[in-house]
Protein backbone atom coordinates (compact mmCIF):
# COMPACT_ATOMS: atom_id res chain seq x y z
CA UNK A 1 0.00 0.00 0.00
CA UNK A 2 3.04 2.31 0.40
CA UNK A 3 4.46 1.75 -3.14
CA UNK A 4 2.61 4.69 -4.74
CA UNK A 5 4.36 7.07 -2.34
CA UNK A 6 7.76 5.76 -3.51
CA UNK A 7 7.14 6.42 -7.21
CA UNK A 8 8.05 10.16 -7.14
CA UNK A 9 11.28 9.37 -5.29
CA UNK A 10 12.25 6.66 -7.80
CA UNK A 11 11.40 8.99 -10.69
CA UNK A 12 13.69 11.74 -9.28
CA UNK A 13 16.50 9.27 -8.73
CA UNK A 14 16.20 8.00 -12.31
CA UNK A 15 16.27 11.58 -13.63
CA UNK A 16 19.37 12.35 -11.58
CA UNK A 17 21.14 9.25 -12.90
CA UNK A 18 20.20 10.26 -16.44
CA UNK A 19 21.95 13.64 -16.19
CA UNK A 20 24.74 13.96 -18.71
CA UNK A 21 27.72 16.17 -19.44
CA UNK A 22 29.36 17.08 -22.73
CA UNK A 23 33.17 17.19 -23.03
CA UNK A 24 34.22 20.18 -25.14
CA UNK A 25 38.00 19.74 -25.15
CA UNK A 26 40.96 18.28 -23.26
CA UNK A 27 43.98 20.45 -22.46
CA UNK A 28 47.35 18.84 -21.69
CA UNK A 29 49.82 21.17 -19.94
CA UNK A 30 53.45 20.80 -18.99
CA UNK A 31 54.50 18.75 -22.04
CA UNK A 32 54.44 19.30 -25.79
CA UNK A 33 55.46 17.79 -29.11
CA UNK A 34 55.38 14.04 -29.62
CA UNK A 35 55.01 13.39 -25.90
CA UNK A 36 51.79 15.44 -25.72
CA UNK A 37 50.48 13.77 -28.88
CA UNK A 38 51.06 10.32 -27.41
CA UNK A 39 49.25 11.32 -24.21
CA UNK A 40 46.26 12.56 -26.20
CA UNK A 41 46.21 9.36 -28.24
CA UNK A 42 46.10 7.32 -25.04
CA UNK A 43 43.26 9.29 -23.40
CA UNK A 44 39.77 7.77 -23.49
CA UNK A 45 38.52 11.31 -22.83
CA UNK A 46 39.54 12.27 -26.38
CA UNK A 47 36.98 9.80 -27.76
CA UNK A 48 34.25 11.45 -25.64
CA UNK A 49 34.74 14.97 -27.04
CA UNK A 50 31.49 16.30 -28.46
CA UNK A 51 29.44 13.45 -27.01
CA UNK A 52 26.95 13.28 -24.12
CA UNK A 53 28.31 11.13 -21.28
CA UNK A 54 26.63 10.16 -18.03
CA UNK A 55 27.99 11.18 -14.63
CA UNK A 56 29.07 7.63 -13.95
CA UNK A 57 30.89 7.41 -17.29
CA UNK A 58 32.51 10.83 -16.78
CA UNK A 59 33.80 9.87 -13.32
CA UNK A 60 35.34 6.73 -14.84
CA UNK A 61 37.02 8.67 -17.67
CA UNK A 62 38.46 11.26 -15.27
CA UNK A 63 39.80 8.53 -13.02
CA UNK A 64 41.37 6.65 -15.98
CA UNK A 65 42.93 9.83 -17.41
CA UNK A 66 45.65 9.86 -14.75
CA UNK A 67 46.57 6.21 -15.35
CA UNK A 68 46.50 6.62 -19.13
CA UNK A 69 48.71 9.72 -18.96
CA UNK A 70 51.17 7.94 -16.69
CA UNK A 71 51.38 4.93 -19.03
CA UNK A 72 51.91 7.18 -22.06
CA UNK A 73 54.88 8.89 -20.38
CA UNK A 74 56.69 5.69 -19.40
CA UNK A 75 58.10 4.98 -22.90
CA UNK A 76 59.92 8.33 -22.62
CA UNK A 77 61.55 7.32 -19.35
CA UNK A 78 59.24 9.22 -16.95
CA UNK A 79 57.96 6.71 -14.39
CA UNK A 80 57.18 9.07 -11.47
CA UNK A 81 55.29 12.05 -12.87
CA UNK A 82 52.87 14.19 -10.90
CA UNK A 83 49.54 14.37 -12.72
CA UNK A 84 46.49 16.47 -11.81
CA UNK A 85 43.19 16.10 -13.69
CA UNK A 86 40.77 19.05 -13.28
CA UNK A 87 37.33 19.31 -14.95
CA UNK A 88 35.64 22.70 -15.39
CA UNK A 89 32.32 23.58 -13.78
CA UNK A 90 30.35 24.02 -17.03
CA UNK A 91 28.87 20.58 -17.62
CA UNK A 92 27.40 21.55 -21.01
CA UNK A 93 30.86 22.49 -22.33
CA UNK A 94 33.22 20.59 -20.07
CA UNK A 95 36.93 21.43 -20.35
CA UNK A 96 39.26 18.90 -18.77
CA UNK A 97 42.75 20.13 -17.90
CA UNK A 98 45.58 17.66 -17.32
CA UNK A 99 48.61 19.24 -15.65
CA UNK A 100 51.78 17.17 -15.91
CA UNK A 101 55.02 17.51 -13.98
CA UNK A 102 57.28 14.90 -15.51
CA UNK A 103 59.79 14.73 -12.70
CA UNK A 104 63.20 13.14 -13.19
CA UNK A 105 63.54 10.64 -16.03
CA UNK A 106 64.69 7.08 -15.50
CA UNK A 107 68.37 6.63 -16.44
CA UNK A 108 69.89 3.42 -17.76
CA UNK A 109 72.06 2.04 -14.93
CA UNK A 110 73.12 -1.48 -15.89
CA UNK A 111 73.06 -3.17 -19.30
CA UNK A 112 73.35 -6.86 -20.13
CA UNK A 113 72.71 -6.89 -23.88
CA UNK A 114 73.98 -9.22 -26.57
CA UNK A 115 74.05 -12.57 -28.32
CA UNK A 116 75.55 -15.77 -27.01
CA UNK A 117 76.52 -18.78 -29.08
CA UNK A 118 77.86 -18.89 -32.66
CA UNK A 119 76.01 -15.66 -33.50
CA UNK A 120 78.31 -13.78 -31.14
CA UNK A 121 81.07 -14.15 -33.78
CA UNK A 122 78.86 -12.75 -36.58
CA UNK A 123 80.29 -9.29 -37.31
CA UNK A 124 77.07 -8.02 -38.86
CA UNK A 125 75.02 -9.01 -35.82
CA UNK A 126 77.64 -7.38 -33.62
CA UNK A 127 77.27 -4.14 -35.60
CA UNK A 128 73.48 -4.33 -35.26
CA UNK A 129 73.75 -4.85 -31.50
CA UNK A 130 75.99 -1.79 -31.17
CA UNK A 131 73.44 0.35 -33.00
CA UNK A 132 70.44 -0.49 -30.80
CA UNK A 133 71.67 -1.40 -27.32
CA UNK A 134 70.86 1.07 -24.49
CA UNK A 135 73.74 3.22 -23.26
CA UNK A 136 74.33 3.56 -19.49
CA UNK A 137 73.83 7.11 -18.27
CA UNK A 138 71.22 7.96 -20.87
CA UNK A 139 67.44 8.27 -20.46
CA UNK A 140 65.73 4.91 -20.88
CA UNK A 141 63.56 4.90 -24.01
CA UNK A 142 61.12 2.02 -23.90
CA UNK A 143 59.99 2.40 -27.52
CA UNK A 144 63.63 2.26 -28.71
CA UNK A 145 64.17 -0.77 -26.48
CA UNK A 146 61.20 -2.61 -28.02
CA UNK A 147 62.22 -1.62 -31.57
CA UNK A 148 65.76 -2.87 -30.97
CA UNK A 149 64.50 -6.15 -29.56
CA UNK A 150 62.33 -6.71 -32.63
CA UNK A 151 65.12 -5.71 -35.04
CA UNK A 152 67.70 -8.12 -33.58
CA UNK A 153 65.19 -10.97 -33.46
CA UNK A 154 64.39 -10.44 -37.14
CA UNK A 155 68.07 -10.15 -38.09
CA UNK A 156 68.83 -13.46 -36.41
CA UNK A 157 66.21 -15.14 -38.59
CA UNK A 158 67.35 -13.31 -41.72
CA UNK A 159 70.91 -14.53 -41.22
CA UNK A 160 69.88 -18.15 -40.67
CA UNK A 161 69.79 -18.49 -36.88
CA UNK A 162 66.40 -20.17 -36.88
CA UNK A 163 66.85 -21.77 -33.45
CA UNK A 164 67.56 -18.47 -31.67
CA UNK A 165 65.64 -17.66 -28.50
CA UNK A 166 65.74 -15.26 -25.57
CA UNK A 167 67.94 -16.05 -22.61
CA UNK A 168 66.47 -13.04 -20.82
CA UNK A 169 64.34 -10.07 -21.81
CA UNK A 170 63.45 -7.82 -18.90
CA UNK A 171 63.79 -4.25 -17.68
CA UNK A 172 63.81 -3.60 -13.93
CA UNK A 173 62.90 -0.02 -13.00
CA UNK A 174 63.72 1.33 -9.55
CA UNK A 175 61.44 4.34 -9.23
CA UNK A 176 63.06 5.69 -6.08
CA UNK A 177 66.48 5.75 -7.74
CA UNK A 178 65.13 6.70 -11.16
CA UNK A 179 67.18 3.86 -12.62
CA UNK A 180 66.59 1.09 -15.14
CA UNK A 181 68.55 -2.17 -15.40
CA UNK A 182 68.28 -3.77 -18.84
CA UNK A 183 68.85 -7.49 -19.37
CA UNK A 184 68.23 -8.55 -22.98
CA UNK A 185 70.18 -11.54 -24.31
CA UNK A 186 69.69 -14.10 -27.05
CA UNK A 187 71.01 -17.61 -27.58
CA UNK A 188 71.66 -17.72 -31.33
CA UNK A 189 71.89 -21.46 -31.88
CA UNK A 190 73.69 -22.81 -34.96
CA UNK A 191 73.56 -20.94 -38.23
CA UNK A 192 71.72 -22.77 -41.01
CA UNK A 193 72.95 -23.08 -44.60
CA UNK A 194 71.39 -22.72 -48.04
CA UNK A 195 69.82 -25.97 -49.11
CA UNK A 196 68.47 -27.22 -52.46
CA UNK A 197 66.21 -24.92 -54.50
CA UNK A 198 63.11 -26.37 -56.15
CA UNK A 199 61.20 -24.53 -58.87
CA UNK A 200 57.53 -25.34 -59.46
CA UNK A 201 55.65 -23.71 -62.36
CA UNK A 202 51.88 -24.03 -62.15
CA UNK A 203 49.73 -25.04 -63.93
CA UNK A 204 52.37 -25.87 -66.55
CA UNK A 205 56.02 -25.25 -67.32
CA UNK A 206 56.65 -22.28 -69.62
CA UNK A 207 60.39 -21.73 -69.01
CA UNK A 208 63.12 -24.36 -68.96
CA UNK A 209 64.09 -25.25 -65.40
CA UNK A 210 67.81 -25.03 -66.20
CA UNK A 211 67.35 -21.41 -67.26
CA UNK A 212 65.78 -20.53 -63.90
CA UNK A 213 68.48 -22.41 -62.00
CA UNK A 214 71.07 -20.04 -63.48
CA UNK A 215 69.49 -17.27 -61.40
CA UNK A 216 70.56 -19.08 -58.21
CA UNK A 217 73.96 -17.45 -57.76
CA UNK A 218 74.84 -19.17 -54.46
CA UNK A 219 76.06 -22.71 -53.87
CA UNK A 220 74.34 -25.25 -51.71
CA UNK A 221 76.07 -25.19 -48.34
CA UNK A 222 76.68 -21.43 -48.30
CA UNK A 223 75.51 -19.62 -45.18
CA UNK A 224 71.81 -18.82 -45.19
CA UNK A 225 70.85 -15.19 -45.72
CA UNK A 226 67.42 -13.76 -46.54
CA UNK A 227 69.06 -11.26 -48.91
CA UNK A 228 69.92 -14.12 -51.28
CA UNK A 229 66.23 -14.98 -51.60
CA UNK A 230 65.30 -11.32 -52.06
CA UNK A 231 67.75 -11.03 -54.96
CA UNK A 232 66.36 -14.22 -56.53
CA UNK A 233 62.83 -12.80 -56.23
CA UNK A 234 63.87 -9.55 -57.90
CA UNK A 235 65.61 -11.41 -60.74
CA UNK A 236 62.57 -13.59 -61.38
CA UNK A 237 60.24 -10.59 -61.28
CA UNK A 238 62.36 -8.55 -63.69
CA UNK A 239 62.17 -11.35 -66.28
CA UNK A 240 58.44 -10.59 -66.54
CA UNK A 241 57.52 -14.19 -67.30
CA UNK A 242 55.43 -14.75 -64.18
CA UNK A 243 52.42 -13.09 -62.58
CA UNK A 244 53.25 -14.52 -59.14
CA UNK A 245 56.62 -15.32 -57.58
CA UNK A 246 56.48 -17.06 -54.19
CA UNK A 247 59.80 -17.98 -52.52
CA UNK A 248 59.53 -19.86 -49.24
CA UNK A 249 62.41 -21.14 -47.09
CA UNK A 250 61.52 -24.32 -45.20
CA UNK A 251 63.68 -24.42 -42.05
CA UNK A 252 61.35 -27.05 -40.57
CA UNK A 253 62.42 -29.44 -43.35
CA UNK A 254 66.13 -28.74 -42.97
CA UNK A 255 68.55 -31.65 -42.98
CA UNK A 256 72.06 -31.23 -41.60
CA UNK A 257 71.19 -27.53 -41.04
CA UNK A 258 70.54 -27.01 -44.77
CA UNK A 259 67.31 -25.13 -45.48
CA UNK A 260 65.44 -26.18 -48.66
CA UNK A 261 63.88 -23.36 -50.69
CA UNK A 262 60.60 -23.80 -52.54
CA UNK A 263 59.94 -21.42 -55.47
CA UNK A 264 56.38 -21.41 -56.83
CA UNK A 265 55.71 -19.56 -60.09
CA UNK A 266 52.55 -18.74 -62.00
CA UNK A 267 52.94 -17.67 -65.66
CA UNK A 268 51.80 -14.23 -66.78
CA UNK A 269 49.78 -13.69 -69.94
CA UNK A 270 51.97 -14.46 -72.90
CA UNK A 271 51.01 -11.48 -75.06
CA UNK A 272 50.77 -7.80 -74.18
CA UNK A 273 48.78 -5.56 -76.52
CA UNK A 274 49.07 -1.79 -76.24
CA UNK A 275 47.24 1.03 -77.98
CA UNK A 276 46.96 4.76 -77.43
CA UNK A 277 46.68 8.17 -78.96
CA UNK A 278 49.22 10.99 -78.95
CA UNK A 279 49.65 14.60 -79.91
CA UNK A 280 52.73 16.76 -80.28
CA UNK A 281 53.12 20.32 -81.48
CA UNK A 282 55.76 19.15 -83.97
CA UNK A 283 54.44 15.67 -84.74
CA UNK A 284 50.68 16.35 -84.85
CA UNK A 285 47.97 13.86 -83.86
CA UNK A 286 48.85 10.20 -83.87
CA UNK A 287 48.24 6.69 -82.59
CA UNK A 288 50.42 4.02 -81.03
CA UNK A 289 50.11 0.26 -81.31
CA UNK A 290 52.29 -2.46 -79.88
CA UNK A 291 52.56 -6.21 -79.36
CA UNK A 292 55.00 -7.88 -76.99
CA UNK A 293 55.44 -11.60 -76.44
CA UNK A 294 56.68 -12.15 -72.91
CA UNK A 295 58.08 -15.56 -73.83
CA UNK A 296 58.44 -17.04 -77.31
CA UNK A 297 59.88 -20.36 -76.19
CA UNK A 298 61.10 -22.20 -73.11
CA UNK A 299 64.47 -20.49 -73.46
CA UNK A 300 62.78 -17.25 -72.40
CA UNK A 301 63.25 -15.25 -75.60
CA UNK A 302 61.07 -12.15 -76.03
CA UNK A 303 59.87 -10.17 -79.05
CA UNK A 304 58.40 -6.69 -79.47
CA UNK A 305 56.76 -4.87 -82.38
CA UNK A 306 55.65 -1.26 -81.98
CA UNK A 307 54.37 1.46 -84.31
CA UNK A 308 54.07 5.15 -83.43
CA UNK A 309 52.21 6.70 -86.36
CA UNK A 310 51.68 10.47 -86.19
CA UNK A 311 50.83 13.03 -88.84
CA UNK A 312 54.39 14.32 -89.21
CA UNK A 313 56.47 11.64 -87.51
CA UNK A 314 56.39 7.86 -87.88
CA UNK A 315 58.48 5.35 -85.97
CA UNK A 316 58.43 1.55 -86.24
CA UNK A 317 60.41 -0.65 -83.85
CA UNK A 318 61.24 -4.36 -83.88
CA UNK A 319 63.10 -5.96 -80.99
CA UNK A 320 64.28 -9.42 -80.02
CA UNK A 321 65.62 -10.13 -76.51
CA UNK A 322 67.46 -13.08 -74.98
CA UNK A 323 68.03 -13.37 -71.20
CA UNK A 324 71.62 -12.96 -70.03
CA UNK A 325 72.93 -14.11 -66.65
CA UNK A 326 76.70 -14.21 -66.96
CA UNK A 327 78.41 -11.44 -64.94
CA UNK A 328 75.18 -9.41 -64.54
CA UNK A 329 71.48 -10.17 -64.84
CA UNK A 330 70.16 -8.52 -67.99
CA UNK A 331 69.42 -8.99 -71.69
CA UNK A 332 71.02 -9.44 -75.06
CA UNK A 333 68.95 -7.37 -77.48
CA UNK A 334 68.80 -6.95 -81.23
CA UNK A 335 66.66 -4.04 -82.38
CA UNK A 336 65.75 -2.45 -85.69
CA UNK A 337 64.06 0.95 -85.91
CA UNK A 338 62.71 2.94 -88.85
CA UNK A 339 61.93 6.65 -88.52
CA UNK A 340 60.32 9.12 -90.90
CA UNK A 341 59.85 12.77 -89.90
CA UNK A 342 58.24 15.34 -92.18
CA UNK A 343 57.82 18.27 -89.82
CA UNK A 344 57.74 22.00 -90.40
CA UNK A 345 61.52 22.23 -90.26
CA UNK A 346 63.04 18.90 -91.34
CA UNK A 347 62.65 16.06 -93.82
CA UNK A 348 64.33 13.09 -92.18
CA UNK A 349 64.46 9.34 -92.76
CA UNK A 350 66.40 7.07 -90.47
CA UNK A 351 67.20 3.35 -90.15
CA UNK A 352 69.10 2.08 -87.12
CA UNK A 353 70.24 -1.40 -86.12
CA UNK A 354 71.27 -1.88 -82.48
CA UNK A 355 72.88 -4.82 -80.68
CA UNK A 356 73.09 -4.36 -76.90
CA UNK A 357 73.85 -6.03 -73.59
CA UNK A 358 72.14 -4.57 -70.52
CA UNK A 359 72.68 -5.39 -66.87
CA UNK A 360 72.21 -4.25 -63.30
CA UNK A 361 75.53 -3.50 -61.62
CA UNK A 362 73.91 -2.92 -58.22
CA UNK A 363 70.61 -1.74 -56.77
CA UNK A 364 71.34 1.86 -57.81
CA UNK A 365 73.24 1.52 -61.08
CA UNK A 366 72.16 0.04 -64.42
CA UNK A 367 74.39 -0.10 -67.48
CA UNK A 368 74.11 -0.93 -71.18
CA UNK A 369 76.76 -1.37 -73.83
CA UNK A 370 75.65 -1.40 -77.45
CA UNK A 371 76.77 -1.32 -81.08
CA UNK A 372 74.85 0.97 -83.46
CA UNK A 373 74.67 0.91 -87.23
CA UNK A 374 72.89 4.05 -88.44
CA UNK A 375 71.78 5.23 -91.87
CA UNK A 376 70.17 8.67 -91.98
CA UNK A 377 69.10 11.10 -94.70
CA UNK A 378 67.91 14.63 -93.99
CA UNK A 379 67.19 18.07 -95.35
CA UNK A 380 66.01 21.22 -93.59
CA UNK A 381 62.96 23.11 -94.76
CA UNK A 382 60.53 25.79 -93.65
CA UNK A 383 58.03 25.31 -96.45
CA UNK A 384 59.70 27.81 -98.77
CA UNK A 385 63.42 27.15 -98.38
CA UNK A 386 64.86 23.64 -98.50
CA UNK A 387 68.50 22.65 -98.10
CA UNK A 388 70.05 19.86 -100.21
CA UNK A 389 69.72 16.33 -98.85
CA UNK A 390 72.58 15.00 -96.74
CA UNK A 391 73.25 11.36 -96.00
CA UNK A 392 75.30 9.75 -93.24
CA UNK A 393 76.21 6.12 -92.58
CA UNK A 394 77.71 5.50 -89.14
CA UNK A 395 78.74 2.64 -86.93
CA UNK A 396 79.71 3.24 -83.33
CA UNK A 397 79.73 1.64 -79.87
CA UNK A 398 77.84 3.29 -77.01
CA UNK A 399 77.89 3.07 -73.22
CA UNK A 400 74.85 4.12 -71.16
CA UNK A 401 74.71 4.31 -67.37
CA UNK A 402 71.67 5.12 -65.23
CA UNK A 403 72.10 5.90 -61.52
CA UNK A 404 69.25 6.43 -59.06
CA UNK A 405 69.62 6.92 -55.31
CA UNK A 406 66.42 8.47 -53.94
CA UNK A 407 63.99 7.85 -51.12
CA UNK A 408 60.99 7.45 -53.45
CA UNK A 409 61.27 6.82 -57.19
CA UNK A 410 57.79 8.18 -57.91
CA UNK A 411 57.88 11.27 -55.68
CA UNK A 412 61.53 11.74 -54.61
CA UNK A 413 62.23 14.16 -51.78
CA UNK A 414 65.84 13.27 -51.14
CA UNK A 415 68.59 11.93 -53.39
CA UNK A 416 70.03 12.12 -56.87
CA UNK A 417 69.38 10.61 -60.30
CA UNK A 418 71.79 10.73 -63.22
CA UNK A 419 72.23 9.45 -66.79
CA UNK A 420 75.48 9.27 -68.72
CA UNK A 421 76.10 8.37 -72.37
CA UNK A 422 79.43 7.96 -74.15
CA UNK A 423 79.66 7.05 -77.83
CA UNK A 424 82.05 7.44 -80.69
CA UNK A 425 83.21 5.93 -83.94
CA UNK A 426 83.11 6.36 -87.67
CA UNK A 427 81.12 9.24 -89.17
CA UNK A 428 81.67 8.39 -92.83
CA UNK A 429 82.98 11.26 -94.91
CA UNK A 430 82.93 13.48 -91.79
CA UNK A 431 85.63 11.36 -90.15
CA UNK A 432 85.40 10.04 -86.61
CA UNK A 433 83.55 11.51 -83.65
CA UNK A 434 83.41 11.20 -79.85
CA UNK A 435 80.45 12.38 -77.82
CA UNK A 436 79.59 12.50 -74.13
CA UNK A 437 76.24 13.50 -72.60
CA UNK A 438 75.26 13.68 -68.92
CA UNK A 439 72.09 14.68 -67.06
CA UNK A 440 71.59 14.89 -63.31
CA UNK A 441 68.79 15.81 -60.90
CA UNK A 442 69.11 16.55 -57.18
CA UNK A 443 66.13 16.51 -54.83
CA UNK A 444 66.06 18.07 -51.37
CA UNK A 445 63.02 18.26 -49.09
CA UNK A 446 62.75 21.60 -47.31
CA UNK A 447 59.79 20.65 -45.14
CA UNK A 448 56.86 18.25 -45.02
CA UNK A 449 55.32 19.76 -48.19
CA UNK A 450 58.24 21.54 -49.89
CA UNK A 451 61.17 20.45 -52.01
CA UNK A 452 63.97 21.99 -54.04
CA UNK A 453 64.93 20.44 -57.40
CA UNK A 454 68.20 21.20 -59.19
CA UNK A 455 68.78 19.89 -62.72
CA UNK A 456 71.79 20.04 -64.98
CA UNK A 457 72.79 18.82 -68.44
CA UNK A 458 76.11 18.81 -70.27
CA UNK A 459 76.89 17.45 -73.72
CA UNK A 460 80.10 17.71 -75.72
CA UNK A 461 81.13 16.48 -79.17
CA UNK A 462 84.57 16.09 -80.69
CA UNK A 463 84.23 15.88 -84.50
CA UNK A 464 86.12 17.09 -87.52
CA UNK A 465 82.89 18.21 -89.16
CA UNK A 466 79.93 18.46 -86.77
CA UNK A 467 77.52 19.23 -89.61
CA UNK A 468 78.30 15.80 -91.07
CA UNK A 469 76.66 14.21 -88.03
CA UNK A 470 72.96 13.41 -88.56
CA UNK A 471 70.34 15.34 -86.52
CA UNK A 472 69.73 12.32 -84.24
CA UNK A 473 73.30 12.71 -82.91
CA UNK A 474 73.26 16.48 -82.45
CA UNK A 475 72.26 18.45 -79.39
CA UNK A 476 69.23 20.70 -79.10
CA UNK A 477 67.84 22.82 -76.27
CA UNK A 478 64.38 24.06 -75.38
CA UNK A 479 61.21 22.32 -74.29
CA UNK A 480 59.74 20.50 -71.30
CA UNK A 481 62.86 18.83 -69.91
CA UNK A 482 65.35 21.39 -71.13
CA UNK A 483 64.66 25.16 -71.09
CA UNK A 484 61.02 25.94 -70.41
CA UNK A 485 59.89 29.18 -71.99
CA UNK A 486 61.21 27.99 -75.36
CA UNK A 487 59.74 25.43 -77.71
CA UNK A 488 61.26 22.03 -78.40
CA UNK A 489 64.55 22.42 -80.30
CA UNK A 490 64.13 26.19 -80.46
CA UNK A 491 67.47 27.06 -78.86
CA UNK A 492 70.70 26.57 -80.79
CA UNK A 493 72.47 27.46 -84.05
CA UNK A 494 69.94 28.37 -86.76
CA UNK A 495 69.80 28.42 -90.51
CA UNK A 496 69.59 31.88 -92.07
CA UNK A 497 67.64 32.61 -95.26
CA UNK A 498 68.95 34.95 -98.00
CA UNK A 499 67.20 37.89 -96.30
CA UNK A 500 69.10 37.31 -93.05
CA UNK A 501 66.15 35.87 -91.15
CA UNK A 502 66.79 33.12 -88.60
CA UNK A 503 64.73 30.06 -89.50
CA UNK A 504 65.18 27.00 -87.30
CA UNK A 505 67.77 25.18 -85.21
CA UNK A 506 69.76 22.47 -86.96
CA UNK A 507 71.52 21.07 -83.91
CA UNK A 508 74.83 21.76 -82.22
CA UNK A 509 78.03 20.08 -81.07
CA UNK A 510 77.53 21.00 -77.43
CA UNK A 511 74.76 21.68 -74.95
CA UNK A 512 74.51 22.97 -71.40
CA UNK A 513 71.30 23.54 -69.45
CA UNK A 514 70.40 24.12 -65.81
CA UNK A 515 67.27 24.50 -63.73
CA UNK A 516 66.27 25.58 -60.22
CA UNK A 517 62.74 24.68 -59.15
CA UNK A 518 60.82 25.09 -55.89
CA UNK A 519 57.69 23.03 -55.23
CA UNK A 520 55.12 23.31 -52.47
CA UNK A 521 52.13 21.01 -51.97
CA UNK A 522 49.06 22.44 -50.27
CA UNK A 523 47.53 19.03 -49.55
CA UNK A 524 48.16 15.39 -50.41
CA UNK A 525 47.38 15.85 -54.11
CA UNK A 526 47.81 19.44 -55.29
CA UNK A 527 50.74 21.83 -55.31
CA UNK A 528 52.47 24.60 -57.20
CA UNK A 529 55.99 25.32 -58.44
CA UNK A 530 58.17 28.23 -59.54
CA UNK A 531 61.30 27.76 -61.62
CA UNK A 532 64.16 29.33 -63.56
CA UNK A 533 65.71 27.44 -66.48
CA UNK A 534 68.72 28.40 -68.55
CA UNK A 535 71.14 27.08 -71.12
CA UNK A 536 72.09 26.82 -74.76
CA UNK A 537 73.03 24.46 -77.58
CA UNK A 538 76.12 25.81 -79.29
CA UNK A 539 79.14 25.13 -81.51
CA UNK A 540 82.68 25.68 -80.32
CA UNK A 541 82.68 28.56 -77.81
CA UNK A 542 79.75 30.53 -79.18
CA UNK A 543 77.58 30.19 -76.07
CA UNK A 544 74.29 32.06 -76.56
CA UNK A 545 72.63 31.72 -73.13
CA UNK A 546 68.82 31.62 -72.94
CA UNK A 547 66.82 31.97 -69.72
CA UNK A 548 63.20 31.04 -69.07
CA UNK A 549 61.07 31.63 -65.98
CA UNK A 550 57.62 30.42 -65.04
CA UNK A 551 55.28 28.70 -62.63
CA UNK A 552 53.27 25.52 -62.68
CA UNK A 553 50.63 23.30 -61.12
CA UNK A 554 51.45 19.87 -59.64
CA UNK A 555 49.03 16.96 -59.25
CA UNK A 556 49.80 13.61 -57.66
CA UNK A 557 47.48 11.59 -59.84
CA UNK A 558 46.72 7.87 -59.44
CA UNK A 559 48.98 7.13 -62.44
CA UNK A 560 51.87 9.32 -61.30
CA UNK A 561 52.84 12.99 -61.07
CA UNK A 562 51.35 15.45 -63.56
CA UNK A 563 53.14 18.77 -64.15
CA UNK A 564 51.61 21.70 -66.07
CA UNK A 565 53.93 24.69 -66.52
CA UNK A 566 53.55 28.14 -68.07
CA UNK A 567 56.87 29.81 -68.90
CA UNK A 568 58.30 32.71 -70.83
CA UNK A 569 61.75 33.17 -72.36
CA UNK A 570 63.67 36.29 -71.39
CA UNK A 571 65.96 36.41 -74.43
CA UNK A 572 63.65 38.71 -76.40
CA UNK A 573 61.10 41.20 -75.01
CA UNK A 574 58.34 39.92 -77.33
CA UNK A 575 58.84 36.21 -76.52
CA UNK A 576 55.49 34.40 -76.20
CA UNK A 577 54.38 32.30 -73.25
CA UNK A 578 54.78 28.53 -73.65
CA UNK A 579 52.73 25.71 -72.14
CA UNK A 580 54.48 22.52 -71.00
CA UNK A 581 52.84 19.25 -69.91
CA UNK A 582 54.67 16.31 -68.33
CA UNK A 583 53.22 13.06 -67.03
CA UNK A 584 55.38 10.57 -65.16
CA UNK A 585 58.15 10.37 -62.59
CA UNK A 586 60.89 13.00 -62.41
CA UNK A 587 63.64 10.42 -62.89
Mean pLDDT of 460-475: 87
Instruction: Inform me whether the pLDDT recorded for 328 exceeds 80.
Output: no
Contact 585, 560 (CB under 8 A): yes
- Measured at the CA of 371, the angle between CA 366 and CA 375, to 5 degrees, comes to 130
User: How many Cβ atoms from other residues are within 10 Å of residue 36's Cβ?
Assistant: 16
Give 3's pLDDT tier (boundaries 50, 70, 90). Answer: very low
pLDDT tens track for 410-455: 889 999 999 999 999 876 665 789 999 999 999 999 888 899 999 9
- What is the predicted pLDDT for the residue at 385? 66
Contact 43, 37 (CB under 8 A): no
pLDDT tens track for 364-409: 999 999 999 999 999 887 766 677 888 989 999 999 999 999 998 8
- What is the predicted pLDDT for the residue at 346? 85
- Mean residue pLDDT of the chain comes to 89
* Pairwise CA distance, residues 416 & 382, whole Å: 40
Mean pLDDT of 213-221: 92
Give 107's pLDDT tier (boundaries 50, 70, 90). Answer: very high
- What is the predicted pLDDT for the residue at 135? 93
Mean pLDDT of 127-143: 92
- What is the predicted pLDDT for the residue at 196? 95
E strand or H helix at 233: helix 226-239
- What is the predicted pLDDT for the residue at 6? 45
Give 514's pLDDT tier (boundaries 50, 70, 90). Answer: very high
pLDDT tens track for 228-266: 999 999 999 989 999 999 999 999 999 999 999 999 999
Whether the ω angle into residue 203 lies within 30 degrees of 0, i.e. cis, is yes
Give 35's pLDDT tier (boundaries 50, 70, 90). Answer: confident
Output the pTM of the full model.
Answer: 0.76
Instruction: Inform me whether the pLDDT recorded for 11 exceeds 50.
Output: no
How far are the Cα atoms of 23, 110, 132, 531 from residue 135, in angstroms, in the given order?
Answer: 43, 9, 9, 47
Instruction: Inform me whether the pLDDT recorded for 9 exceeds 60.
Output: no
- What is the predicted pLDDT for the residue at 117? 94
Mean pLDDT of 496-522: 84
- What is the predicted pLDDT for the residue at 344? 76
Instruction: Inform me whether the pLDDT recorded for 559 exceeds 90.
Output: no
Instruction: Inform me whether the pLDDT recorded for 4 exceeds 60.
Output: no
Instruction: Inform me whether the pLDDT recorded for 500 exceeds 70.
Output: no
* Pairwise CA distance, residues 403 & 66, whole Å: 54
Mean pLDDT of 329-352: 92
Instruction: Inform me whether the pLDDT recorded for 291 exceeds 90.
Output: yes
Amino acid sequence: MRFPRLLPVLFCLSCASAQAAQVKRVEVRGIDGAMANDVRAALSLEDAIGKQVSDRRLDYLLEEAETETRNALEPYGYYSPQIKVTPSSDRNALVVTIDVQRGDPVIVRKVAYGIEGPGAQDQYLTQDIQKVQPVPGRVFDQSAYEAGKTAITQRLAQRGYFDSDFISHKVEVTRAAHAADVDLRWASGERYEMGPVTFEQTPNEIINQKLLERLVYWNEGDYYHQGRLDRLRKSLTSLDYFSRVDIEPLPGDAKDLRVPVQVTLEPAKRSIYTAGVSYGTDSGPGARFGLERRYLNKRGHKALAQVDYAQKRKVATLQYRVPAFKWLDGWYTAGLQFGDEQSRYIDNRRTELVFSRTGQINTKLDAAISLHVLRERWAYTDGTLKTPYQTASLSFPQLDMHYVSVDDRLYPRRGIGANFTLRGGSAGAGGGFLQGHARAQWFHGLGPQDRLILRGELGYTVAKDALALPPSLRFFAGGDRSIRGYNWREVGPRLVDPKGRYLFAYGAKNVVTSSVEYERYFNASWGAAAFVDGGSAFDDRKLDWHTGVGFGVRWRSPVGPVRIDIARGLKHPDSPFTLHLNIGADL
